[in-house]
Chains A and B, each alone.
Chain A
Amino acid sequence: MNRTGKQILFALALLALPFLAHAAKIGEISETTWTDQAIDFFTMQQPIVRTALTGSLLIGFCCGILGSFLVVRKLSLLGDTLSHAVLPGVAMGFLWNASKDPWAIFVGATAAGILGVALVGWIKQTTHLKEDSTMGMVLAGFYGVGICMTTVIQNMAMGNKSGLDKFFFGQAAALSSGDIELLSIIALITVVVILGFYKEFLVISFDSGFAQALGMPVKVLHYALMALLTFAVVVSLQAVGVVLVSALLITPAAAAFLLTDRMHWMLVLAAAFGMLAGAIGAFVSYLSNNLPTGPFIVLGATGIFLLALLFGPRHGLLPKMLRRRKQRQRIALENTLKAVFHLSESSQFKDQVFEIGRLATERNATLHETESEIRNLVKADMASRLDSRNGPEMSGQAQFELTKSGWYRACEIVRNHRLWELYLTNAAQYPIDHVHDDAEDIEHHLGEELVHRIEERLENPIHDPHGKLIPNRESIKL
């Protein structure tokens, strides 16, 4: 729960970002309308569209898969550290031959990323600082150095057209065919390594001690994963930007984590979500000139996460609410049945037809409320009305009886209640006047198996602590 809470906060904070980025560019809106641009995007006639889209899809794919391992290993901050730590390397790679040579930047950034992560490990080992503070420090330190370097480069003559600023918020349209080549290679390596060593990565992520006991090269596998992650971050920079690439690692994986309980499905979903987010980002940023891609990719991913959070079948908020409502309705239904049972019991089970008015008195409710309760019972096939007037007008004299299944359920609820009271007084030594409220609640939740175990433990009792009969299905029949 704690983890989900943090993820929500993180996602909400990210929501604000695209608007900030957009605001800065508002003066530069171009002449073409966004509908033209949209049509342009979907026909994919322009090579620049194809490049941007392919790149964003590949990036989403890699980040989704590798990010899943970060999320399940509670290393989310590592993605952040890595992405910020590569910035000095990007600048160095650019200085190598004063151009945006993808390979030079790749080598520089990878080296810087590995240096950053190694530094985190080293500080953690030599001091008693904890990992989170170490990461926060390294992240900011490297980022500061990187900003200084890129500012210097941009102020230099050659820097004017460097496009280094694209590395901050990302611009998919700035991807070159060389970038795509690199991206495809990294995506291929990721697929081969993760598929080939899936079970190894699964075990080291879940239980690294056990993995080592199995004789797996845990350290090698760990560094392989970190290397892949560094590659993915570095090749994503161009399109997503240094600041937001960690969100692309974590958010799709977090959404997948909410939707499934199996690791391999999480990988598949996270990859799909990452690709979807990439496509959304590439599309929106193409609609208008100079819109950065990164924020929109992240916005897309955050949208997917919010959908998963709200509508996920098992952990989603909405299904949870519906389930709770359904349970409340069931409990109300069962309470009505129980009241009918008490009515019948007060006549030594001679009465089998009941007046709504009497039930209302027993339930301490208005006629109107009781009427709607009976209607619910009829709907659930647990009661049937005996009067011909099935209309809306109410009358205290209107009669109903329980169906067979209604009567069974009523008996079960009363049995659960009385058994539990007896269990509490006998086995848990509760005073007799302490047990009713607890039983009121537990009667709706006791499963058949548990009931049998309690019955066995109490040696199939007949009377509850108040001396009342504990019904079983055979003893009381209509």
Chain B
Amino acid sequence: MQSSPTTNLSSKSAAPLEVHDLTVAYTKRPVLYGIDLEIPKGSIVGVVGPNGAGKSTLIRAIMGLLPVSSGWIKVFGKPFKQAVTRVGYVPQRESVDWDFPVNALDVVLMGRYGRLGPFKRPSKADKEIAMNCLEKVKMDSYAKRQISNLSGGQQQRVFLARALAQESDLYLMDEPFVGVDATTESAIIEILRELQAQGKTLIVVHHDLTTAPEYFDRILLLNMRVVAYGKTEDVFTFENLQNAYGGRLSILSEVALTRARKKFDGDTRDNVGQ
């Protein structure tokens, strides 16, 4: 038996994320079953699994965007609602309408809104922070650009900058590498490493198996339940992946995987693939 939710005393040092026996259902059909998870401070966790495995659902459930059927979630030892300002979020890029009449800076400023009460406008300091965040993702020269005039990779970087502007301790990122160019991908991973070096915790939904072992130091293999979770070298085994993908692993990804694993067993710092 797992002990009950943490006491007040330990809330300072509580794990960034603790999930116990979580079940989430859409119209009574469960998508996630009995998820147990504890994520230590300062780790980069890759959430990997086939389509429909519930990766995004897990992220959304953590933030209370979906009703939970059973189990509980603690963020820094508290329910999410009480830890809102400590969590940063990067949603999927397709989840918004990019024709919306805002510029890049407006979007990044939204990251500051969680800290402002109602009736309060973002201050000069907030705008400076937002500008700095745009600079970190090398998008400062596009600050005044309407967001539909940005490329896919640039849009993704704006989303990342917005999360940075939240100045949180735990970051949840839903597919930040989808549809971005190689430059953006390496820029994003650089920022993730930097965040980790500052002691932040990151949970990243990812679907590219070839880069997963290179990017993450922990991996959560998900397919409606936890197939495997732990340090990348322990979890990223062929058997586990076969289990997660239920034999649906195509020959192509198998080959890619073998290559990735060879790289991984050898030198992890080398770029995987090309």
Interface segment among B35-43, B116-124, B194-202, B263-271: the answer is: B116-124
Query: How many inter-chain contacts with C-beta < 8 Å in the A-B complex?
Result: 78
In the bound complex, residues from chain A placing their C-beta under 8 Å from that of B100 are 72, 205-206, 263
B250 within 8 A of A: no
Nearest residue, chain A, Cβ from B115: A214
Q: How far is the CB of B53 from chain A (nearest CB, A)?
A: 19
B:88-104 near A, CB below 8 Å: 89, 91, 95-97, 99-103
The answer to whether A266 and B101 touch across the interface, beta carbons within 8 angstroms, is: yes
Question: In whole angstroms, what is the CA distance A49 to B65 when docked?
Answer: 51
Asked if A72 contacts B101 (CB within 8 A), the reply is yes
Say whether A196 faces chain B, with CB atoms less than 8 Å apart. Answer: yes
Assign chain A's interface to a size class.
Answer: 20 to 34
Output the least CB separation between B228 and chain A (Å): 28
Q: How large is the interface on B (under 10, 10 to 19, 20 to 34, 35 or more residues)?
A: 20 to 34
> Which of the listed residues A3, A203, A216, A266 has the most CB atoms from chain B within 10 Å of its own CB?
A203
Report the Cα distance A196→B117, complex, angstroms. Answer: 10
Q: Is residue B107 contacting chain A, with contact meaning CB distance below 8 A?
A: yes
CA distance A202 to B162 in the complex (A): 15
Known: A207-B96, A214-B114. A202 touches B102 (CB 8 A): yes
Shortest distance between the CB of A449 and any CB in chain B (Å): 11
Instruction: Give 1 or 0 for each of A260-279: 1 = CB within 8 Å of chain B CB.
Output: 11110110000000000000
* Partner pick for A214 among B96, B99, B113, B146, CB 8 A cutoff: B113
Q: Which of B63, B101, B162 contacts A212 (CB 8 A)?
A: B63
Question: When the two chains form their complex, are residues B110 and A207 in contact, meaning their CB atoms are under 8 A apart?
Answer: yes
In the assembled complex, how far is the CB of residue A124 from the closest CB belonging to chain B, in whole angstroms? Answer: 13
Report the separation of the CA atoms of residues A257 and B122 in the bound assembly, to the nearest whole angstrom: 24
B96 touches which one: A200, A202, A206, A216 (CB < 8 A)? A206
The answer to whether A203 touches B146, judged by C-beta atoms less than 8 angstroms apart, is no
Do A206 and B89 have beta carbons less than 8 Å apart? no
Tell me, in angstroms, the Cα distance from A205 to B91 when the chains sit together. Answer: 15
Nearest first, the 3 A-B pairs at minimum CB distance are: A215-B84, A214-B114, A261-B146
Give 8 pairs: A residue, B residue, CB < 8 Å, sorted on A.
Answer: A196-B118, A199-B116, A203-B110, A206-B97, A206-B110, A209-B65, A209-B91, A213-B63
Taking A261-B146, A262-B101 as known contacts, 17 extra A-B pairs with beta carbons closer than 8 A to each other, sorted by chain A number, are: A72-B97, A196-B118, A197-B119, A199-B116, A202-B106, A206-B100, A207-B95, A207-B96, A209-B60, A209-B91, A209-B95, A210-B110, A214-B113, A257-B101, A261-B101, A262-B102, A263-B101
> Which A residues form the contact surface with B (CB < 8 A)?
3, 72, 74, 196-197, 199-200, 202-203, 205-207, 209-210, 212-216, 257, 260-263, 265-266
